[in-house]
Chain A
Amino acid sequence: MNVSYKWLSEYIDLNGYTGEELAELMTGGGIEIDVVESRNKGVTGVVVGLVLTREKHPDADKLSVCTVDVGQAEPLQIVCGAKNVEAGQLVPVATIGAKLPGDFAIKRAKLRGVESQGMICSAKELGINDKLLPKDQQEGILVLPEGNAIGRSILDVLALDDEVLELDLTPNRSDCLSMLGVAYEVAALTGRQVKLPDNRVNDAAEAASDYVSVVIEAKEQCTRYSARYIKGIQVGPAPLWMQNRLIAAGIRPINNVVDITNFVMLEYGQPLHAFDADKVSGGNIVVRQAREGETLVTLDDQERKLEPHNLLITDGERPLALAGVMGGADSEVTAATVNILLESAHFEGSLVRKTSRQVGLRSESSIRFEKGADPARVLPALDRAASLMAKHASGLVLDGVVEAIASAHSEAVVEVSLDKINRYLGTTLSRLEVETILGRLQFPFELSLEGVFIVNVPTRRGDISRDVDLIEEVARLYGYDNIPTTPIEGETTPGALTKPQAIRRELRKRLTDAGLHEVISYSFTHPERTKLFPSLTNGAQPVRLALPMSEDRSVLRTSLLPQLIETATYNHNRKNHDVAIFEIGTVFHTEESELTRLPSEKHRLAVLLTGSKAAAQWNRKAVPVDFYDAKGVLETIADVLGVSGLISYEAAQPEDMHPGRTAAVVMETERGSQTIGYLGQLHPQVQLDHDLADTYVLEIELAPLYDKADFDIVYKTLPRYPAMQRDIAVVLGADVGAGKLIASVRETAGGLLESVNVFDVFTGEKLGADKKSVALSLVYRHAERTLTDEEVSELHNRVVTELEQSFAAELRK
C-alpha cells in the first residue's frame, strides 16, 4: 500500500509530523514503512502555459515553433519536438532557469537556428512514471485539462509537492490497505481524531429497485451484495486531483467511473465494481458458483474456463464477473456507457484467493478480499462512490440501495483482564493506561467489576479475536521498549547436547584438526546425480519435488558423495588440486514412488581426499593421498568413538568405485554384521568424468555409531613386567589380506599377545609372481609375571605354524 501524505491528511491531522517522522512513528507501532518517497523528483520552475500558436520549424521537419503564454508580460517562443503539441493546449512549461529531474537545468537555446525560451514537458520529463498515466498521455507532451490557471506551478497542478509512504504490511494488518485504516492507525498512535469522507447521496425520485434485483445463491461465499443504479453517466476523464492521487498510490487512471471505484477502494479498502447496466440483462444480479463448462471473457480479453469453486456474478444466466477478482469484458464500462450498476459486496476471502490463484490474477480487489475487507464498509463505500459519480460523472443516483444479505456481521466481543495483561507482558500497567490505549484505538469497551475489559472490536480490525490479540494492541501502543527485561522465574534446567549431537561435534573437531574442511551442500540435486553410487542408496528412490525450480535441483540427495565430488571438481577448476573435505548431513530415502509418509532421513558422514596431503615446501615433498589416508580417517574416528573393535573392512566392488581399492565398512550391531558404508578410491571413469586425479572417499551412516559409541574410559594398569618382541616375515599369496593374517595371529596367540603390527609389505620378482612378503612385529606380555624365553618361543612357533598351514605362508629366514 502506497500512502500519499497529503491524501492521508484529509482524514487525519498530520500537523507536526513530516513524512519521515510519520514513517518512524508508524514503524515503531508495527506498520513498517519501507521508504518515504518524494513525488517531486527534482522539478522547479515549471508552470502551466497556454500554447497560443504552433508553426512548423523552418529548417526541421520534426520540430514545431510555439508561442506559449506562461503568465509573463510577453509570450515565450519555444521549440518543441512532440508530435501532439497544438495551439490551445494547456501544457507544463519549463521556463529559463527551471530544473527537471536529473539536475537538468533549462537554458536559453537555439534549435536549428530558432531561439527557444524554455521547454514544453512530457510527464516522464517531470519524473512521473509514465506506466501510471492514461494511455493517451504516455507519449508526447503532457496535456493538462482545462481550468488550470496559466502560470500556476506544475507542482500544485500535479500534486508533486507530496510524499508517498510505502507500507510493508504484515498479513494481519489488511485494515491498513485503506486510507481510512491508516488514518485509524495514526489516530491510535497520536491520539487524534479520524475525519470520515463525505458520502451523502442526493437520491433521485426514481427507485433503483425498479431497475435492479439482487439474489445471493451462494450464501456461504457471499455474505452481502449491495448495489446502486446510476443513470445518465458521462464517461470521461476523472478530475486531475483524483488522477493525481491514484497515480501517487500506484494505480493508473482510466476514466471517471473506474477511477472513482478505485479511489473509493483505496479510501475504504472496499473493492467496488461498476457494470454497464445496459449489458446486465434485466438488471438481475445473481451471485452463484460456476457451473461445469462455463467460460467468461474477463476485462483483459482472456477467455477463462471456470471451475465449480469459482464464485460468479451473473445476470441469472450469463456470467458477468469473477466475484472479487475481475469483471467481464461484456459488461465493462466504456465511453458509450450511460447507466451504471455499482456493486459493493463482501466475498469470502479464501475463496477469492483460490480463484485468483487459479486464474493467475491478483488484482487490488482480490488482494483486499483475500486479506479480509471490513464488512461494515460495504454500504458507506457504495454511497461514497455514488456521491462521487454524481459529482464527477454527472450521474443521477437512483433512490435506494438494492441488496441481499446472506448473513449479518457482528463485532467480536473480546475480554481481557488487567491482571492477565500485566502477567502476560511482565508490566505494571494501570487501569487508566489500558483505558487510554483502548480509547485511542477507538475500541468501545466496558470494564467489569472484576477488572475485565469487555471490548467490542470494530469489524475493521478483523485480526483481533482473542485476549492475546488485545494484549498485543496494548503492548504495541504502550511501546515494546517500555516492557521491562526480566529473567525467567521458576525451575532451572540443565542444558546439554544429546549423544548424536555431541558425536557430530566431535567428528567436526577431529576432522578439522586433521586438516579437513567442512562443507555444506544443497539438499536438492539433479536426478542423474542420485544414480551415482547405488550401493549407498540400497535401492531407495529419491524424493522428487512437486514443482522444482530447475531440473538441476529437482530431487533430494540420496547420498553425500556426488556433491562432494562436484565440490572437488569446482575447486580443481580453480587450481586447488589438494582437496580434503567432509560433510555431515542428511540424505533422503523412500521406498515409495508416490509419497504417502515422510521419507527416511539419515545422518551421514562423507569424506573426500584428493591431491597431496600437504603442499610441497622447501623441506618437504608433496605426499599424494592414498587409500590408507582415507582408511586412517575412519580408523581414528572409530578409536575416538570407542567402536574400533566392532568395525571391519572387507574388500568390495560397489559400482562407481575402483574394484581393487574399495572396502565395505562392516559393523557389528544387535542385528548382526551390517554394512554401514564404503571406503575407497573413485572408479577411474568417475574420476575422468569429473576431471579429478586419484580421489579417495568414504561415506558412512552415523546412526549405528550413535548407537554403539562408547565414551566411557576405563583405566588399565600400566604394565609392570617386561614385554618380549618377535618379528615374523612370511611370503604368501598376494591376494591374502593382511587383515586375515592379523586375525589369525590374534586368535592363535591369545591373551599373551599384547599387539601385532604390520611393519613391512613388499612384492618383487625374487618372491615370484602373485606373491608378497608381509612382516609382522608381535609383542608378548604377561600382566603378572615375566615371560620366559621358552614359553614365548613355544607360543610364537604355534603362531607361525598356523600361518603356514592356513595361508600357505612360507617363513622368510
Chain B
Amino acid sequence: MKERLEALRTEALQELQQVTDPQQLNDLRVKYLGKKGALTEISRGMGGLSAEERPIIGQVANDVRGAIEEVIAAKQAAFQQAETEGRLRAETIDVSLPGKKLAAGAVHPLNKIVQEIEDIFIGLGYTVAEGPEVETDYYNFEALNLPKDHPARDMQDSFYVTDELLMRTQTSPVQIRTMKAMNGKTPVKVICPGKVYRRDDDDATHSFQFNQIEGLVVGPNIRMSDLKGTLLQFVQLMFGKQAQIRLRPSFFPFTEPSAEVDVTCSQCGGHGCRMCKQTGWLEILGCGMVHPRVLEMGGYDPDEVSGFAFGMGVERIALLKYGIDDIRHFYTNDLRFLSQFVRM
C-alpha cells in the first residue's frame, strides 16, 4: 500500500507540474484529494491493515496529502497573483491626463488687497467704516479744512453733481462721519475702504475711479510716534518683516504735521531697482496728525484729544504687489486677467 501511495505522490506531483490554469488545478485537486479522489480511494483500504501498520501507512498517506496540498496551494497562489497582476494591468490608466478640478473663481485683485489690509487692521483692533460715494461738499472738503477757494482743491479736480454734491474725491469724509457718529467718545480706531473719483485722463497709471483705504485713530494722547509705530507694524504685516518705513514731510489740509511714507522696495529689498527707480523705496502712503480744525468739525476738543490719520491707494499697492503694468486692467475685467488671482 505504501508503494501505491508513493506512486500516487509521484504521479500527482508530475501532473501538477504540467498545470497551466486554475481550472486544471481544481480538476487535479478533485482527482487526487476529492471525496472520490485517488488518495481517498487508497485510504479507504486502510481498514484492512494491521494495527501496527495502520499508523505507519496513515502517516505516509498524510505526508502524500500534505505534499500534494502544498503544491496545489503554491500553484493556486501563483495563479491568484498572476490574475491580480493581470487585472491591475488591465485597470492601468493614464495618470497624466487632466483631472476634474473643483470650480474656482477669483476675488477681484483690488478687493483681495482691501480684505488683506482690513484683516491686518482688524487684528490691530480697528473696525471698518463706510460712507456714501456721492458726498456733500461739506464732508468732502470743508469739514476737512478745505474751504471753498482753498488752493489745495486744485490738487484733486472733482466730479461735481451739483454745486453742493460731488463724487467723493477721497475716503476722508468717512473720518468726519465716523467722528460725528462717535459723539465725542474715544478711542476712535477705524479704517475706511472705498471707491473715490477724480477727474483724470485714464492712462497706465491714472484712473478716474480708484480705491482708497484710510485709517483714523483719535484718543486722549495720540502721538506722531504712535503713527509711525502703527505704520511700521502695518507694512511689516503687509510686505514682510524686513520692510522699513521712511517719512518725508508733506502737506495735506486735514493733517498737521503731514508726511508721505515710503516703504522698502519689495522687489529689490531696498538695494535699488527699476520698480523703485533705484531709490530702494516705494511711496505708498500719506499720513499725519489730524488737524485740530478737523477734530473740531468731528466734535472733539483738540486740547483734549489728538489723532492720526493715514491713507493709501489700493490700486497702487495692487500694481506693486502683483507687478501689474496698467491700472486699466482692474476695470476692464478681462477673464484672462481676473483668473490670475485664483491663488489665495
Contact = CB atoms under 8 A, between A and B. Distances in A.
Interface in B121-154: 121-128, 130, 132-136, 149-152, 154
A556 B134 contact: yes
Contacts, number: 237
A628 interface: no
B183 interface: no
B232 to A, nearest CB: 5
Given A425-B225, A618-B97, A495 B121 contact: yes
Contacts of A509: 107
Interface in B105-125: 105-108, 110-111, 115, 118, 121-125
- Which of B124, B165, B224 has most chain A Cβ within 10 Å? B224
A768 B122 CA distance: 63
Interface string A578-609: 01110000101000001110110100000000
Nearest to B165: A595
Interface string A404-444: 00000000000000000001111100000000000000000
Nearest to B224: A425
Contacts of A173: 251
Given A171-B154, A579-B335, A495 B149 contact: no
Contacts of A495: 121-127, 189
Contact of B133 (A481, A514, A523, A576): A523
- Which of A424, A601, A614 has most chain B Cβ within 10 Å? A424
B152 A488 contact: no
Given A424-B306, A485-B229, A29 B187 contact: no
A512 B155 contact: no
B242 interface: no
A484 B221 CA distance: 15
A518 B154 contact: no
Interface string A483-505: 11111111111111110010001
B333 A595 contact: no
A494 B122 CA distance: 8
Contacts of B335: 517, 571, 576, 579, 581
Interface stretch (B12-20, B79-87, B256-264): B256-264
B333 A581 contact: yes
B336 interface: yes
Given A488-B230, A496-B127, A170 B162 contact: no
Given A493-B125, A595-B165, A426 B107 contact: no
B219 interface: yes
Contacts of A481: 246-247
Interface string A359-373: 000000000001100
A345 interface: no
Contacts of A786: none
A480 B230 CA distance: 15
Interface residues of A, number: 94
B249 interface: yes
B132 A424 contact: no
A488 B133 contact: no
A471 interface: yes
Interface string B73-114: 000000000000000000000000110100111111011000
B220 interface: yes
B123 A545 contact: no
B105 A30 contact: no
A486 B227 CA distance: 8
A485 B333 contact: no
B248 interface: yes
A708 B161 CA distance: 34
Contacts of B155: 171
A350 interface: yes
B239 interface: no
A570 B208 CA distance: 20
Given A426-B226, A519-B333, A524-B209, A501 B107 contact: no
B178 to A, nearest CB: 13
B250 A423 contact: no
A485 B199 contact: no
A598 B187 contact: no
Contacts of A567: 333
B338 interface: yes
A570 B333 contact: yes
A73 interface: no
A515 B250 contact: no
A27 interface: yes
B280 interface: no
Contacts of A490: 187, 219-221
Given A508-B111, A588-B134, A618-B97, A468 B222 contact: no
Contacts of B189: 493, 495
A508 to B, nearest CB: 5
Given A490-B221, A495-B126, A520-B333, A350 B149 contact: yes
A567 B123 CA distance: 36
A349 B257 contact: no
B339 interface: yes
A486 B333 contact: no
A511 interface: yes
A517 B106 contact: yes
B48 to A, nearest CB: 65
A370 B152 CA distance: 11
Nearest to A29: B249
A370 B220 CA distance: 37
A517 B100 CA distance: 19
Interface string A464-485: 0010110110011000110111
A543 B292 contact: no
Interface string A516-530: 111111111000000
A580 B342 CA distance: 14
A475 B257 contact: yes
Given A173-B251, A370-B151, A427 B225 contact: yes
Nearest to A30: B249
Nearest to A584: B111
Contact of B118 (A425, A466, A494, A497): A497
Given A493-B125, A497-B122, A546 B161 contact: yes
A350 B147 CA distance: 11
Nearest to A367: B151
Nearest to A472: B257
Contact of A426 (B126, B132, B167, B225): B225
B228 A484 contact: yes
Contact of B162 (A493, A517, A546): A546
Nearest to A543: B161
A34 B92 CA distance: 67
16 contacts: A172-B251, A475-B224, A488-B217, A489-B226, A496-B127, A512-B105, A514-B103, A518-B106, A523-B133, A524-B209, A543-B134, A549-B208, A570-B334, A574-B336, A598-B134, A598-B136
The 4 tightest CB contacts between A and B, nearest first, are: A426-B225, A515-B103, A30-B249, A170-B251
